Structure 1
Amino acid sequence: MNTKEKHNFKKITLLLIAGFIALFIVRFIYSYNEKETPIQFNNQLISETIWDVRKNYASKKHEVFSNTSAVPQTRIDQKYEKIAKISSGTADFIADEKLIRNQIKNYKALIQYENKSGNTGNRNLNFSIGVPPENFDTMYQSLIKIGVVSAKQITKTDKTNEYKELNAKKLSLEKIRTALVELKAKGGRIDEFMQLENRILEIEQQLQDLGVSLGNFDDENEFCTVQFTLSEGKKIDTPIITKILSALEWTLETYIKIMAALTFLALFAYLVSITINKLKTS
């Protein structure tokens, strides 16, 4: 190897080393400034039954148009249940709890269930929140920015048929009650009278229960639901040597891939060049 070749080899080697070092520095700076995630020490399992405090329903009116008319032919009143579930962890429990309560106030929502447990450093907070349907989406987007979210989902279920069935059952019971009241007015034996009275009382109780269920569907009680769980943890203090080793591992893997890609491209360009020269010669 002559002096010029040695000089070129040395130059290329220094460029490759400089590229490796530059890539390592970029990765290390990124990992050093990367947001720390909390360790959720008290990630307790939440029973689904604790959320069954109140059923929230909302409605949406759909207008159905015909092909020949711009005037809606029918209006469909859809009843639905919409539930968002959010699980989040935080290292600043007090500040994030305050933030959640402020969001509830800002979006005119209601706390329908609240449970707070655990000691400092290991606390859990569970909220079931009734949210006006028009504020649901914006409130959901605000809440998923609190802490570090580990799970989230939104479920929307149509309840129109259930609402119709409840109304039909109410109408049927009212007819039976009216018939029994009329029958009782005709008189009869004491034991028959008592049986009719007991049956009327049973129907009255069923109608009251139906009234409560149907009351959840009333327009003035329309809400969507947000079930929010906040768990307290602490930030991971990753040692600097761990970050260096992690950055070095990533740099080696990435650099090898880059070199392999460049080698493949160079070889491909070389083969193309040879083929073109042969074609010109022929």
Structure 2
Amino acid sequence: MKPTFKKRFKKLILWLVALFIALFVFRFIYGYTKTPDNTSSQAQFFETISSPRKNYASKKYEVKSNTGAQSTIRVDQKYEKIAEIKTKSSTFEDEEKLARKTIEEFDALIQFEQKSGNKGYRRLNLVIGVPPENFDNLYQKLTQIGNIQAKQITKKDKTNEYKELNAKKQSLEKIRNSLIELKSKGGKIEEYMDLENRILEIEQQLQGLGVSLGDFDDENEFCTVQFSLLEGKEIKIGTMQRVKVALEWTIKMYLGIITILLFVTLFGYIFLLAVDKFKILEQIISRKE
């Protein structure tokens, strides 16, 4: 072999070895960073239930007025705050007792509860109403139970919705009062009955608005914690198992890459040969002419 060819061959081997090592290291590290996904086994339970009552809270604060005067505006913000916690534990009964004790400790209420499954595969779903001042502490305590699979906090402003409900209520009350006043003036029986029916419809709408506005009352202020506890053993993967999985993945990926490179090289070589043949053919034709 020529020295130049030997150097190129050694360089190619080194590149191939470096590629294999890089793929193996990448897959091995990824195995440690990627934890088993158990959240898929926990059905999106809280999205399927519909609670007859929603939990809202309020926050009162003052902001400076945009006008030139040295005055402040009092703002009463209404908001909905929901925490979602999904956890897993092999000591289901102990963790359930701890969760219930923690809920009582922070003056929270279990507003919805579902417990299902046989031993070894049990699941507990709780919808908890907690006073706004205790929300953060309860959330922190519940996230220390079991092996957390997923957690998140969502906060939505509901001030405009609250104002719209109040405006709609005031508008309906004005219409009702006008209809009652109109009814007192007398008239035909048919007109009287139509007025009665219309007043009854408005009364029903006002009752529905009253229920919705009741959720915003200061005395009923709560934030929501959706807590899901799943029974199951913690999966521990040994180092040798990770090495085996990483090696198998690397070999498959490496052979795939080499195969693709060989096909690309072969295609390129055939293409270049075809181009050369075409050029030679052109030259022969031009000479004959």
Q: TM-score scaled to structure 2, two decimals?
A: 0.67
1:105 lines up with 2:104 in the alignment = yes
Give yes or no for contact 1:42–1:123 (8 Å, CA) kept in 2: no
AA at the equivalent of 1:79: K
- Aligned partners of 2:139 and 2:195: how far apart in 1? 52
1:175 lines up with 2:174 in the alignment = yes
Post-superposition Cα deviations, 1:105-162, rounded to whole Å, max 9, x if no partner, equal: 0000011111111111111111110010000011101111111111111010000000
Matched with 1:141 is: 140
Distance of aligned partners of 1:190 and 1:43 in 2 relative to their CA distance in 1, 3 Å threshold? same
Give yes or no for contact 2:123–2:229 (8 Å, CA) kept in 1: yes
1:206 lines up with 2:232 in the alignment = no
Matched with 1:162 is: 161
Matched with 1:123 is: 122
* Greater shift in the superposed pair: 40-49 or 125-134: 40-49
Matched with 1:10 is: none
AA at the equivalent of 2:200: L
1:246 CA displacement? 5.0
AA at the equivalent of 2:92: F
Q: Which runs of 5+ in 1 are unaligned?
A: 1-30, 251-282
1:62 CA displacement? 1.6
- Aligned partners of 1:139 and 1:47: how far apart in 2? 19
Q: How many residues align?
A: 213
- Aligned partners of 1:93 and 1:186: how far apart in 2? 70
Give yes or no for contact 2:54–2:215 (8 Å, CA) kept in 1: yes
Matched with 2:272 is: none
SS of the residue 1:178 aligns to: helix
1:226 lines up with 2:225 in the alignment = yes
- Aligned partners of 2:209 and 2:40: how far apart in 1? 43
1:234 CA displacement? 1.7
Distance of aligned partners of 1:245 and 1:82 in 2 relative to their CA distance in 1, 3 Å threshold? closer
Give yes or no for contact 1:38–1:233 (8 Å, CA) kept in 2: no
Distance of aligned partners of 1:40 and 1:222 in 2 relative to their CA distance in 1, 3 Å threshold? closer
Distance of aligned partners of 1:207 and 1:40 in 2 relative to their CA distance in 1, 3 Å threshold? closer
Matched with 2:51 is: 52
- Aligned partners of 2:39 and 2:64: how far apart in 1? 52
Of all paired residues, the percent bearing the same amino acid is 61
Matched with 2:234 is: 235
Give yes or no for contact 2:110–2:127 (8 Å, CA) kept in 1: yes
Give yes or no for contact 1:129–1:226 (8 Å, CA) kept in 2: yes
AA at the equivalent of 1:132: P
1:66 CA displacement? 5.7
